[in-house]
Amino acid sequence: MKDDALVACENRENAAITVYYDGACPLCRAELSHYARRDREGRLGLVDVSQEGANLPEGLGPEEAKARFHVLTPDAQLTSGAAAFAEVWRQVPGWKWAARVARVPGVLPVLELAYRGFLKIRPQMVGAFKRLSRS
């Protein structure tokens, strides 16, 4: 079940960026819900790619969208992985410090490596998250 913050950010037409997330993943929902609650200025437009008929940009298929985090920037560039997270951090109050860190030369490639490592263990993390959420 989605919380109200996620629903409020879905498919915003005037958002600064469009965020494509896997709403079927409880870990992804929790993280995006955190960002959505902080987004008081309406900068994030969220698209749940797990929903049938989700409006995806050209070149991004549903399976690819579920497998990796994507953001469409104001200049219509589709970014993914650590670069996509950095775009979200630029928009969300309380996370701009992380966006500044990501701009330091050499940091974004390290964050991308960490993200790729996370993707390999994501199924186990989701399982652990589900078990902890039930407690």
Beta strands 44-48 and 17-21: pairing type?
parallel
Please determine, for residue 12, whether its predicted confidence score (pLDDT) is greater than 80: no
What is the rounded CA–CA span in Å between residue 74 and residue 49?
19
How far from chain centre, in Å, is Cα 44?
10
State percent of the chain over pLDDT 70.
97
pTM confidence score: 0.89
The H-or-E segment that residue 79 falls in is strand 78-80
pLDDT in tens, 34-75: 999 999 999 999 999 999 999 999 999 999 999 999 999 989
pLDDT at site 87: 97
Q: Could you tell me the pLDDT band of residue 117, with boundaries at 50, 70 and 90?
A: very high
What is the rounded CA–CA span in Å between residue 57 and residue 117?
26
